[in-house]
A and B are shown apart, each in its own frame.
Chain A
Amino acid sequence: MPRTPIEPRFKIEYLSILDSEGSLDTALEPDIPPGDLKRLYRAMVLGRRLDERMVRLQRQGRIGTFAPIKGQEAAQIGSVFALRRTDWMVPSFRETAAMLWRGWPIEKLLCLFAGRLEGGQPAPDQHDLPITIPVATQLPHAVGLAYAAQYRGDDVVVMAYCGDGATSEGDFHEALNFAGVWHVPVVFVVQNNQWAISIPLKKQTHSATLAQKALGYGFPGIQVDGNDLLAVYAASREAVARARHGEGPTLIECVTYRLGVHTTADDPTRYRSDEEVKAWERKDPLPRARAYLEKKNLLDDGLEEQVDAEIARAVERFETMADADPLTIFDHVFAERPAHLEAQRAELRERLGADPPRRVDEERPLPTPMRGQRKTSRWAN
Chain B
Amino acid sequence: MGKLNMVKALNLALLQEMERDDGVVIIGEDVGVDGGVFRVTEDLHRQFGGTRVIDSPLAEAAIIGTAVGMALYGLKPICEIQFSGFAFQCFHQIENHAARYRARSQGRFHCQMVLRMPYGGGVRALEHHTESEEQFYAHIPGLKMVIPSGPRTARALLASAIRDPDPVIFFESKALYHAAKEEVPDEIETMPIGRARIDREGRDLTLIAYGAMLRVAREAAEVLREEDGVEVEVIDLLTVSPLDRETISASVQKTGRAVVVHEASRNFGPGAEIAASIMEGAFLSLEAPVRRVTAYDVPFVGFAREWVHIPDAARVVSAARDTLAY
Contact = CB atoms under 8 A, between A and B. Distances in A.
Contact of B165 (A139, A178, A335, A341): A335
B66 A140 contact: yes
B70 to A, nearest CB: 4
A141 B57 contact: no
B159 interface: no
Interface stretch (A146-154, A192-200, A203-211, A346-354): A146-154
A174 B61 contact: yes
B96 A151 contact: no
Contacts of B142: 333-334
A339 B62 contact: no
Given A134-B96, A144-B72, A171-B61, A122 B103 contact: no
Contacts, number: 132
Contacts of B176: none
Nearest to B25: A151
A181 interface: yes
Interface string A325-347: 00000011111001111000000
A307 interface: no
Contact of B73 (A137, A144, A340): A144
A148 B74 contact: yes
Interface stretch (B5-13, B36-44, B238-246, B308-316): B238-246
Contact of B57 (A118, A148, A178): A178
B191 interface: no
B68 A140 contact: yes
A145 B72 contact: yes
A332 B77 CA distance: 21
B107 to A, nearest CB: 5
Contacts of A333: 102-103, 141-142
A335 B72 contact: no
B51 A142 contact: no
Contacts of B15: none
Nearest to A169: B61
Interface size for chain B: under 10, 10 to 19, 20 to 34, or 35 or more residues? Answer: 35 or more
Interface residues of A, number: 41
B105 A145 contact: no
Contacts of A120: 104-106
Given A171-B65, A333-B142, A340-B242, A137 B57 contact: no
B62 A171 contact: yes
Contact of A340 (B69, B110, B243): B243
Interface string B103-139: 1111111100000000000000000000000000000
B65 A141 contact: yes
A122 B105 CA distance: 7
B242 A338 contact: yes
A144 B25 contact: no
B67 interface: yes
A137 B97 contact: yes
A364 B109 CA distance: 33
Contact of B51 (A122, A151, A335): A151
The list of the 3 closest CB pairs from A to B, nearest first, reads A144-B69, A140-B65, A148-B73
Given A137-B92, A338-B194, 12 more contacts: A117-B106, A123-B108, A124-B108, A137-B96, A147-B66, A151-B25, A175-B66, A177-B59, A178-B62, A333-B102, A333-B142, A340-B245
18 contacts: A121-B107, A132-B97, A137-B92, A137-B93, A137-B97, A139-B65, A140-B61, A140-B65, A140-B69, A144-B66, A151-B70, A171-B62, A177-B62, A178-B66, A331-B106, A332-B107, A333-B103, A333-B142
